[in-house]
A and B are shown apart, each in its own frame.
Chain A
Amino acid sequence: MNPTRGCGTTNRANGVKGRQTVIELENVAYSYGGGELLSDLSIKLAPGSFHFLTGPSGAGKSTFLKLCYAALLPTAGQVRLFGADARTMDRTAVALLRQRVGVVHQDCQFLDHLPLIENVALPLTVAGRNVAHEEANLKDLLQWVGLTNRASALPPELSGGERQRAALARAVIMAPDVVLADEPTGNIDWEMSQRLLQLLIELNRMGKTIMVATHDLSLIRAAKTQVQARVLRIKNRRLQLAGADL
């Protein structure tokens, strides 16, 4: 692993030194419904790094990702996003942060009444950018994810793989520094998973920081043959660096 593209994990054992981090969690805990879901997490994500986050269902992978884009605030500890403390960010600052952090959800979260191309362009629309001026970029992006011929389809008309690729296109249209993907291959077949993985690897090669939450170990193994990826595991509410068992 290239330490300049790596990250630090729990208990500061693998901390990144001398690099500006894009996302940093320090002694973070998150409690929900009276119980602690995550405990004492510390991690620094360096620019251009690639991470997998794994763990059993309900371990807190989605919660961890939500902490990384300020959809949730920690109940203890500190989350710093591009150097800013998430607790001190107002709602407008959080909205602006989302333009620097692209998120791909397992269920994609589209506006079903808008065609695919408008869904992909949604971050531009809400940022007040003239979508007509970005038409060439949009077409390039749809071509990149292989959805040019599905531009006018409504989300319910898309297959699982198409939806995931569209969600990825939407996540990167604002040229974010970080892409967070939550179980992006959960509803698609192996072949489509590999295609999505290639897109994520391409993004990483462009310098984007990638974090993929998945319980699909075969996907992680496939990725590790192509990219320097660090694998983290949530176990017993804590974050661990996964070992050779992967």
Chain B
Amino acid sequence: MTDLSGLIQSDAAADRVVPPAGFTVQLTLFSAGAMAFLAVFALALSLAAGRLAVHWGTELARSSTLRISAHAEQMDTQVAAALRVLETTPGVESARALDTTEQQALLEPWFGPGLPIDMLPVPRLIEILETGAGYDAPGLRLRLQGEVPGAVLDDHTRYRRPLVSAAAHLRVLGWLSILLISGTLAAMVTLAANAALAANSQVIGVLRLVGATDAYIARAFVRRFTLRAITGAAVGMMLGLAGIWLLPEGDTANDLLTGFALTGWHWGLPVLIPPLAGATAFLATRAAAARVLRGLA
């Protein structure tokens, strides 16, 4: 607490006892800035992956697709029969057949626009939305087998699970990246602080000669490095936010690449990066100073 209060209270005379110049200034500023810049992207990645995991885990889990393959002249009959079955199935909230335009949109990425879908033997798709309790998938399959022989029920489980798992892993990787970035920042600040303390051993000797306690000497260095780290991280954060802001807009809920952005209150989260960088620098410099001052005894 004493260290923290000493850090917050400005003491112009005490700040001046450590020479201001040296490469450690640039090293600390650049490291903090670069790490904060990367942290913004890691944060955005983690949040985007989280949104995807939620979407795939909840929205897709509540929907299924019924694919009906039949001769053209029997298609409408089969679709109607399938819809009747679904209307009477407990756990099915709604079911509707996709129209021609929707099916064209689904195939457009592979066949391009203007596909004459009416002339092709393309199966019809029925979108099923479940209630919260869900339906009995094996039971529905048995009923469809009997009443709509060409129907295939796809409850999305097969591809939803790996997607949800991948999104969850991406989210964990995002947070892990932030931890690694913090560790790297701590290492860089420690190196810079060690270098600064070693370069200023003569200054430390003079300060000790005139009665400075180790706590006073450490505080002078800790304060300087912490403020540098906060300044560098603030600049890095602003640049990172600008980078995110300049990304093309996309579907933030469905697509990781085009949805790699911050939404709503998430824009406020990067503001935490500079204070966290400051806290990291504070702890790293304090430990380095204690170690070096012990060694210089």
User: Interface on A for B, CB 8 Å cutoff?
Assistant: 71, 91-92, 95-99, 103, 105, 109-111, 113-114, 118, 121-123, 125-128, 131, 170, 174
Contact = CB atoms under 8 A, between A and B. Distances in A.
A111 B17 contact: yes
B207 A126 contact: yes
A97 B208 CA distance: 11
A114 B208 contact: no
B213 A110 contact: no
Interface in B37-69: none
Given A113-B19, A131-B13, A91 B213 contact: yes
Nearest to B293: A91
B210 A92 contact: no
Nearest to B205: A109
Given A113-B20, A114-B17, A131-B13, A126 B203 contact: no
Contacts of B216: 95, 126, 128
Given A91-B297, A111-B203, A96 B13 contact: no
Interface of B: 13-14, 16-17, 19-20, 202-203, 205-216, 297
Contacts, number: 62
A122 B214 contact: no
Contacts of B215: 92
B69 to A, nearest CB: 84
Contact of B211 (A96, A111, A114, A121): A96
A121 B203 CA distance: 15
Contact of B209 (A98, A113, A114, A125): A98
B213 A95 contact: yes
A109 B20 contact: no
A95 B205 contact: no
Contacts of A95: 208, 211-214, 216
A170 B212 CA distance: 14
B210 A170 contact: yes
Contacts of A103: 209
B17 A125 contact: yes
28 contacts: A71-B209, A91-B214, A92-B213, A95-B211, A95-B212, A95-B213, A95-B214, A95-B216, A96-B211, A97-B211, A98-B209, A99-B211, A103-B209, A105-B209, A109-B202, A109-B205, A113-B16, A118-B13, A121-B13, A122-B17, A123-B210, A123-B211, A125-B13, A126-B14, A126-B211, A126-B213, A126-B216, A127-B211
A123 B216 CA distance: 12
A126 B210 contact: yes
Looking at chain B's contact residues, the main secondary structure is helix
Given A95-B211, A121-B13, A170-B210, 15 more contacts: A92-B214, A95-B213, A96-B213, A103-B209, A105-B209, A109-B205, A110-B206, A113-B20, A118-B13, A122-B17, A122-B210, A123-B210, A126-B207, A126-B216, A127-B211
A128 B2 CA distance: 14
For the complex of A and B, list the 10 residue pairs with the smallest distance between their C-beta atoms, beginning with the closest: A98-B211, A126-B212, A95-B213, A123-B210, A99-B211, A113-B19, A125-B13, A109-B206, A122-B210, A92-B213
Contact of B210 (A71, A98, A131): A98
Nearest to B203: A111
Contacts of A122: 17, 206-207, 210
B210 to A, nearest CB: 4
B221 to A, nearest CB: 14
Contacts of B20: 113
A109 B16 contact: no
A98 B17 contact: no
A72 to B, nearest CB: 11
A170 B297 CA distance: 23
A217 B208 CA distance: 31
A111 B208 contact: no
B13 A109 contact: no
A209 to B, nearest CB: 17
Nearest to B202: A109
A127 B215 CA distance: 12
A23 B104 CA distance: 98
Nearest to B215: A92
A137 B297 CA distance: 32
| Interface core residue of B202, B205, B209, B214 (most chain A CB under 10 Å) | B209
B208 to A, nearest CB: 7
Contacts of A118: 13, 16
B209 A109 contact: yes
A40 to B, nearest CB: 26
Contacts of A109: 202, 205-206, 209
